[in-house]
Structure 1
Amino acid sequence: MATKNPVPASAARRRNQGRPPSAPDGPTGRITTWVAGLELDDVPPHVRDRASHLLLDGVGCLLVGSHLPWSEIGVEALTKLDSGGGAAIAGWGSRTTSAPTATLLNGSFIQGFELDDYYPPAPLHVNSIVLPVLLAVASQQDVSGPDFLLAAIRGYEVPGRVGLALHGPEMLTRGWHSGVVFGPAASAVAAGTLYDLDAAGFEDALGMAMTQACGLMSAQFESMVKRMQHGFAARNGLTAAALAAGGYVGIKQVFERDYGGFLGVFGEGHDPQPEEITAELGTRWDTELYAIKPYAAMAGLHAGIDAVLKLSASNPIDPSNVATIDITVGSAAYGHGGFPIERPITNITAQMSLRYAVCVALLDQGALMAQFRTDRINSDDVWDLIAKTTLHEDSSRDTYKTTVRITEQNGHHHEETVESPKGGSANPLSNEEIVEKFNSLTEPLLDSVRQKAIRTTVLGMADREDGPRQLLKLLTAEVPNALA
């Protein structure tokens, strides 16, 4: 149950803006000063509207992921460890836990089936980091709809810039789970907004959040933990912001410190670019750059899926007549999704695999939840095609450019190159398409009244003082297993 916050958030922010960061002209100081000063009225209306739709996509993914098998294992294990607290676990009725654990679990739900957003220039999944933090704080104190939306936008604007300072996709190529490395910046800023931090407080929060940055991309193979790692980033940023709000002092100038600073450590030998952290603040809105996924697969697979669907649409291909499939991608997608696979595989491996995704899309003419169910991923027809598939790395390509070449047994071939996948920055889903995705994902899970109420509450958040409280009520009620 939320408790009354004695100081309205907007008033507290105005009061606190006088405390500057320790080095106002450095990257850490400039980003914290900008974040602390940004108000909802400063954000263009079209950006606020996009942020609301981005939140709606996150809510849809949250509900879909809440009762998947690995999500249920996580809830049972962590609530046994941590049964105290009143923070809501989405889709689990009266089951509650502490704010950090709820944040971790809700983040894992959003990442639960590879349906959530991504940031193309510097890969991360922002809603799995930001939304759980907002819900956790709103479970503990009164939060207005406008402040909820402002906290989301502030959180959306920071982590991609941190990622670009480390050359974005290069982190994936090196084996880091990049979004988990960049992500604590988003959760610290989002939570810090609701805790009324000023610029100096945000500096402390970022200093404590970024020292917890980590994530190994080997999680994408057989483990369940790939689903949870962005939740780690969300939980860590929440903890950092709460400590900063209590007066705990974090690392100062965390991004640029010569010894042990974030960019120096993670970018060692790779020439980090600290200027990217504050590039075009207030003129380039990263909130508008997040891609919304039309497929239930890792983002680096989407161009390959698009390519095979385009080939099939222009000239239907009989899979039984396929002799070879050749897929050519850049280094980041090759390292992330080009690994060899052998039957049997797990759901997460299928959702990370270029070979599997392209083959199942050719067979089923789609790549949504049905194509990554356990009963589908080990089917003979898919593995017959996988055996004919070869991956090629082209280091000159950018992250998403993919070529699929299908050669038939008579020697005739079909070829398609996709530069930017559907949903990506060059071909984004419209707000209307995001609503359609939400409706499609949640229709099997929610009755029409609840579905409409969630949609109306999220999209109207900027005008609803009670929006977060209503959203929590709507999200808490139980939902079924989306794969059942």
Structure 2
Amino acid sequence: MSEATISDVTVPLARWIAGLTPDAVPERVRTRATHLLLDGVGCALVGAQLPWSRVATGAVLDLEGAGDAVVVGTGRTTSGPAAVLLNSTFGKGFELDDFHPVAPLHSASLVLPVLLATAQHQGGASGAQALTAAVAAFEVGPRVGMALHGSQMLSRGWHSGPVFGTHAAAVAAGRLRGLDAERMEDALGLAGTQSAGLMAAQYEAMSKRMQHGFAARGGYYAAALAAAGYTGIKQVFDRPYGGYLAVFREGHDPDPRQIIAGLGEAWHTELIAVKSYAAQGGLHGTIQAVLELRAEYAVDPATVERVDIRVGHTVYHHGWWTPERPLTAVGAQMNLGYAAAVALLDGTVMPPQFTEERLDADDVWQLLGRVRVHLDEAVQRAPVHERFATDLTLTLRDGTELCRRVVQPHGGPLDPVTNEEIVAKYRTLVGPLMPTTRLDAVQRAVLGLDGLSDIGELGELLAGPVAGTLDRNGTVR
């Protein structure tokens, strides 16, 4: 190793990406990848109809104008980069999208928009090519995140997904463009220099929905520039001065080996978690614990004197601050106290729990005032897959304490959401928005991606407007 590098992972990674073949990916991984993409499609179609997405669409199309790239669920088209930005923003529109439990990023919202726009720009790409590109991207994003110890980035205030996500997007676009290892290395370097994202967006900013879109657009550009011969940073993960890991390492010690650990053997595609609730992933343990106690003991929220939630660093810093009335929808979807309150009161945490009326409801805020969140150092010292663990105690007015520990919520590696559940989620979310014939056709196209002669067929199915729009209540109008 030369003095100019601190590791040797960038080139091996680029070679693996460029050399990945469909036959090298186990069938179960390919099947899971199609279901992750279906979940991404459902989230994007729903997200496209939300009021803040309408604001984003108007602003971006005013800047970019018309083009040939599909803006999902709107009947509009625009330039490739603008479509990537918007479609990714739609995928993040209502906190229903996937997340990686160890290296937090939202993969489908990065990968799906890039696949659609790149294929359109290239004049077509087969479904088999797109699926292999998706798997490569699903593998690379988390590995880059794990090299930075994943959730530590959230604890330090970075929006981890946009920090890791540029690489996932660049890989998806680069694979469809057929970049060789040298050009893929350029694309990774061009992606790394665009990585950023501030987690303070979580409190009230619409831009929280768009930050993965910035990363997706950055990766899309990175691959296109590399394909044209525009060179990027070489050995971007290895350089000690100004390299990706060297710069983002401040405050902790990165582990470059994670970037190539288990390539082609251990598949992160199978670890990506699919959400069951419309809230950030770190809140799911609290939601599940509340719902389990509520069901098991028939808890009357009026009898609850106190709610105590114990979590580790990442969930605490990302998910807890003393809320002020009223919260915005995005703030509520990030806040442990709000999630616990509406789960206990309503028995679920889905779009109707984030209406303007519910966000400012007296019963919610009365219960919120009885929530206490505690930082538990023991969780932080636990094995990496247990760092989203939650200990929850409901203290009733008669002194009874009801306790529940959730090491991993449903969706985590120990209890994954099944492919059948993903299909059911897609149909529940999207069913009210379009005729069953179109709903079925989209599902067949995504789950049968391997058999599509051109992924543009999927783009055409997603292009048209849906039957209605969603109001702030998540209700079709």
TM-score range relative to shorter protein: over 0.9
TM-score (norm 2): 0.95
Equivalent residue, structure 2, for 1:323 = 305
For residues 237-285 of structure 1, give each alpha carbon's deviation from its aligned partner in whole angstroms, at most 9, with x where no partner exists: 0001000000001000001101100000001341111000000101101
The yes-or-no answer on 1:118 pairing with 2:106 is no
The yes-or-no answer on 1:35 pairing with 2:17 is yes
| Matched ranges for 1:291-440 at <5 A | 291-397=273-379, 398-440=386-428
State the AA in 2 paired with 1:26.
D
Asked whether the equivalents of residues 58 and 116 of structure 1 are also in contact (C-alpha less than 8 Å), the reply is yes
The yes-or-no answer on 1:471 pairing with 2:458 is yes
Asked whether the equivalents of residues 220 and 348 of structure 1 are also in contact (C-alpha less than 8 Å), the reply is yes
Work out the percentage of aligned pairs sharing the same amino acid.
Answer: 51
For residues 98-129 of structure 1, give each alpha carbon's deviation from its aligned partner in whole angstroms, at most 9, with x where no partner exists: 10011000000000000000000110001111
Query: Using the alignment, how far apart are the partners of 2:249 and 2:378 within structure 1?
Result: 21
Structure 2 residue runs without a partner (length 5+): 380-385
| 1:192 counterpart (174, 184, 196) | 174
Query: Using the alignment, how far apart are the partners of 1:427 and 1:378 within structure 2?
Result: 34
Quote the offset at 1:408 in angstroms. 1.0
Asked whether the equivalents of residues 300 and 399 of structure 1 are also in contact (C-alpha less than 8 Å), the reply is no
Asked whether the equivalents of residues 166 and 273 of structure 1 are also in contact (C-alpha less than 8 Å), the reply is yes
Query: Using the alignment, how far apart are the partners of 1:443 and 1:271 within structure 2?
Result: 46
Asked whether the equivalents of residues 69 and 83 of structure 2 are also in contact (C-alpha less than 8 Å), the reply is yes
| Matched ranges for 1:67-466 at <5 A | 67-93=49-75, 95-140=76-121, 141-397=123-379, 398-466=386-454
Query: Using the alignment, how far apart are the partners of 1:161 and 1:42 within structure 2?
Result: 18
For residues 429-454 of structure 1, give each alpha carbon's deviation from its aligned partner in whole angstroms, at most 9, with x where no partner exists: 11111111111111111111000000
Query: Using the alignment, how far apart are the partners of 1:423 and 1:481 within structure 2?
Result: 29
After TM superposition, the structure 1 stretch with the greater mean CA deviation from structure 2, 173-182 or 404-413, is: 404-413
The yes-or-no answer on 1:63 pairing with 2:45 is yes
For residues 21-68 of structure 1, give each alpha carbon's deviation from its aligned partner in whole angstroms, at most 9, with x where no partner exists: x99x92000100001110111100000000011100000001010010
Query: Using the alignment, how far apart are the partners of 1:268 and 1:315 within structure 2?
Result: 47
SS in 2 for 1:405: strand
Query: Using the alignment, how far apart are the partners of 1:49 and 1:448 within structure 2?
Result: 23
Query: Using the alignment, how far apart are the partners of 1:56 and 1:321 within structure 2?
Result: 41
Query: Using the alignment, how far apart are the partners of 1:409 and 1:354 within structure 2?
Result: 22
Equivalent residue, structure 2, for 1:5 = none
Count of aligned positions? 460
Query: Using the alignment, how far apart are the partners of 1:270 and 1:319 within structure 2?
Result: 42
CA RMSD of aligned residues (A): 1.2
Asked whether the equivalents of residues 172 and 217 of structure 1 are also in contact (C-alpha less than 8 Å), the reply is yes
Query: Using the alignment, how far apart are the partners of 1:481 and 1:259 within structure 2?
Result: 49
Asked whether the equivalents of residues 285 and 409 of structure 2 are also in contact (C-alpha less than 8 Å), the reply is yes
Query: Using the alignment, how far apart are the partners of 1:73 and 1:393 within structure 2?
Result: 37
Quote the offset at 1:326 in angstroms. 0.7
State the AA in 1 paired with 2:179.
L
For residues 3-31 of structure 1, give each alpha carbon's deviation from its aligned partner in whole angstroms, at most 9, with x where no partner exists: xxxxxxxxxxxxxxxxxxx99x9200010
Query: Using the alignment, how far apart are the partners of 1:423 and 1:323 within structure 2?
Result: 30
State the AA in 2 paired with 1:474.
L
Query: Using the alignment, how far apart are the partners of 1:476 and 1:376 within structure 2?
Result: 33
Query: Using the alignment, how far apart are the partners of 1:174 and 1:52 within structure 2?
Result: 33
Quote the offset at 1:396 in angstroms. 2.1
State the AA in 1 paired with 2:437.
V
Quote the offset at 1:399 in angstroms. 2.8
SS in 1 for 2:83: helix
Equivalent residue, structure 2, for 1:3 = none
Change (3 A) 1:96 1:422: same
State the AA in 2 paired with 1:449.
T
Query: Using the alignment, how far apart are the partners of 2:151 and 2:251 within structure 1?
Result: 16
Query: Using the alignment, how far apart are the partners of 2:356 and 2:434 within structure 1?
Result: 24
Query: Using the alignment, how far apart are the partners of 2:238 and 2:361 within structure 1?
Result: 51
SS in 2 for 1:443: helix
